[in-house]
Structures are given as structure tokens and as C-alpha cells.
Amino acid sequence: CHLRIPQTASEMPPLFLSIVGATSSGKSYFLTSMSWELRSTLARNFAISFADTDAVNNHLLNQFEETLFLNSDQESLVALRKTELQGELYNQVLLDNMMINLPKPFMFTVTPAEHHPKYQEVREKMSRTLVLYDNAGEHFEPGMDLVDNPTTQHLLHSNTIFFLFDPTKDVRFRRLLAGVNDPQLDSTARVQRQEIILTEMINRIKKYSGMKTGNRTGKTLIIVVSKFDVWKQLLKCDLPENPWRWESRYNTCAIDVNLMKNTSFQLRNLLEDICPELISTAESFAGEVLYLPNSALGHSPELNPETGMIGVRPGKVNPFWVTAPMLYFFYQRGFIPAVPTESQTRMPEADVEMKQSGDIYFVSIPGREKPLQVPLSYAGWQLCCPGTDLWFTVPVSDRKEQ
């Protein structure tokens, strides 16, 4: 097929990751902000180098980074063009006399820096090529999985999937955000049932992997809830600027996994109240689902009066928690440490009743009529009950340990 493969990619074991989301949900902005922030965050805080494997493969992403973060004009409105169905993000190859479109991934080389405290020990284990796929949202719409356009089959190989959920495209979120001054909430803006995209993604994975109905995948599914600056008032918890802190025993920073888990639990409950079908669809597919908020821009975009299009001013871009999903991805693989249990600040816990049924803990909280439903993936982490602000920890069950 004569596809170009960088030499470095063949020298290091790959890690595959896919980003999925509806049309115009902000995937390009999320990916651009995330990659730019990771270049400095990993080096400065975790002694890890995160660099382009190949400038040719990442050319478009580099252009996007320059537009948002290295723009000589900090005040003029700019916009990233949407991911196309064809073009420079795809390779056309001839297979069995049929012209096939294959997605061209972005590639990053991940290696421990020489000043990493355990450099010799982890150099081989941590030296990887991160292969990241980003498709146009239209590719995940029902009916778009064509023989000559197998652009989403990379999902089978992905270790983790990021599903980008855009609250500004959900009618129920928009009702709760009435009065918020943001052009993305304009009455003429397109809304979409995003769980249909998630269902289509799941069906394709099951179709091509032979996954049986009722089974769950071992992949981690991270629901990335974007544009946090627009809807943060709906999440009743204060988040620090970064989900990590310095840990002297490692001589690097460590991520606060308990903070991420509790934030995920709070966000899960919010989503369950507003769009429960998203929760049920995600958790019927994956054993571990993490819900993380982020803002790729840190502020609302503006309407350009000359073009009628939405744009951003580079000087105002200030991403929030945009690296959190990837940091959790690296934590799962032992690349970066977590804050040790003894270093965590534990809150006083309430006297609660817990009952396990299958993969759910039913937690009865004083002052709450209906018990909380807590998936097993939260077992062992200290959680705060939304509405009562009472803390509790569900025990790690034998089922989870298996």
C-alpha cells in the first residue's frame, strides 16, 4: 500500500488512542490544546518527553498549535478548520483493485527524560509511540461505515477511547444554561443526540471484534465533557487548576487520582440527571468509564461580525484540565505516579449503608431518599455525595479485584 511509516514508530511499541465525537463538538480544539499542553506539562512536571514522532504526519496539528498558541497576532479572531471527510488527514490506497480511504494518525514519541528519577529502570518500558486517531464526526454517523471507507476500524486497536461530549449541543443542557452569553448557545446552533454517535461507535467495535452482546470491553472509555467554562456552574464542586501536585518521594509530580475519581463521580451524577441515556450506553459497553470536564479554550469564543463565524482570540486561550484524560491514560500504564494514600487529605466520612448488587453499590446516605448508585470502578476511592456533601468510601470487592 506504500504508506509512509516513520522509522521511530517501528522502533518503539505503539500505544493506540482514538478520539470520537459528534460533528463540530470541538475535537480539533481539544486535540490541539491537549497536545500543546502535554509538550510542556509532561516535561516540566513528570520528567517525560512528549514530541512529534514525525513532522510530516503531525503537520496539520502543528499548524493548529501555531494558530492558537504561537500566533503573532494575539487579538484577531481565528478559527481552526473542521476535520474533513477526506483530504490531508487520510491516505488513499489501492487494495484489491478498490480505492480505500485510511485515516492518517498523529504520532508522538513518549520517552522518560534523562533526569527522570528512575530513568535506567523505566527507559525501555516507557519509550512508546503514541498513535492518535481523530476522525470527522460524520464518520461515526449511522450508515457511514462503508467498505471503501473503513476509517473507524482503528477503534479495535485503541487501548483507550476518548468520547467528546459537547453540552452546548444537548437541548437539556441548553435549557439549564439559559441566560449564559455564549454564541455556541444561540438558538440557531445545531443540536444533536450524541449518544447515537456513541452507540454507533460501540456497534462497530462489536461488529469487527466479534464481541458478544452483554459482554463489556476491557478498554477504558473516558467521557470528555468539553467547554467547562460554559457550564461549570452546574457542577457543584470546586476544582483546582491542575489535577497533580509535587511529590518529594518521586522527585516529580504525581496525579491526584482520588480527585479525578471524585470529580468523575460528581459529573456522572450530573449527566445522569440531565442525559441518563449517555451514562447507560457508556457503562453497558465498558467496565471502567471515567467522566472528566475540560475546556480547550478556557473562555467563550466570539462571533466574527465580518464572517458570521465563531472565532477565538489567541491571547485569551487558557486551557483548563485539557491534559487530564491523557494523564490518566499514562497513569494506568505506570508512566506517571499517583499521589500516595498516606499523602492524601481524607475527609471525615458519614455513617452510610452499602449493598452490592452485581457491578453496582447502592449507598444509602442520611438525608437522601434514594440510594446512590456507585459503579465498582469507584471502589476504594473517597467520594462526596452530591447534594449532601457527605463523604464515603465503597470497599474494594472481590469482583473488582478479579
Predicted pLDDT of residue 147: 47
Domains and CATH numbers, the chain: 7-345 (3.40.50.300), 346-402 (no CATH)
As a whole number, the mean pLDDT across the chain is 88
* Residue 153 or residue 267, greater confidence: 267
Q: How far is CA 275 from the centre of its chain?
A: 18
112: left (phi over 0), alpha (psi -120 to 50) or beta: beta
Say how far apart CA 63 and CA 199 lie, in whole Å: 32
Half-sphere exposure of 66 (CA within 13 A, CB side): 7
pLDDT per position as a tens digit, 21-72: 988 888 999 999 999 999 999 999 999 999 999 888 899 999 999 999 999 9
Say how far apart CA 241 and CA 238 lie, in whole Å: 10
> Could you tell me the pLDDT band of residue 214, with boundaries at 50, 70 and 90?
confident
> Could you tell me the pLDDT band of residue 402, with boundaries at 50, 70 and 90?
very low
Least confident of 33-47, 319-333, 355-369: 355-369
> Could you tell me the pLDDT band of residue 207, with boundaries at 50, 70 and 90?
confident
Asked if residue 169 has pLDDT above 90, the reply is yes
Which residue, 107, 386, 366, is CA-closest to 268?
386
Burial class of residue 171, CB neighbours in 10 A (0-12, 13-18, 19+):
exposed
Say how far apart CA 87 and CA 42 lie, in whole Å: 31
> Could you tell me the pLDDT band of residue 3, with boundaries at 50, 70 and 90?
low
Predicted pLDDT of residue 22: 87
Q: What is the pTM of this model?
A: 0.91
Phi, psi of 126 (to 5 degrees): -90, -5
Predicted pLDDT of residue 116: 84
**Cβ(134)–Cβ(359) below 8 Å:** no
Asked if residue 89 has pLDDT above 80, the reply is no
Predicted pLDDT of residue 38: 98
The mean per-residue pLDDT over the stretch 211-230 comes to 92
pLDDT per position as a tens digit, 227-274: 999 999 999 889 999 999 999 988 899 999 999 999 999 999 999 999
Least confident of 35-39, 80-84, 132-136, 344-348: 80-84
The length of the chain, given as a count of residues: 402
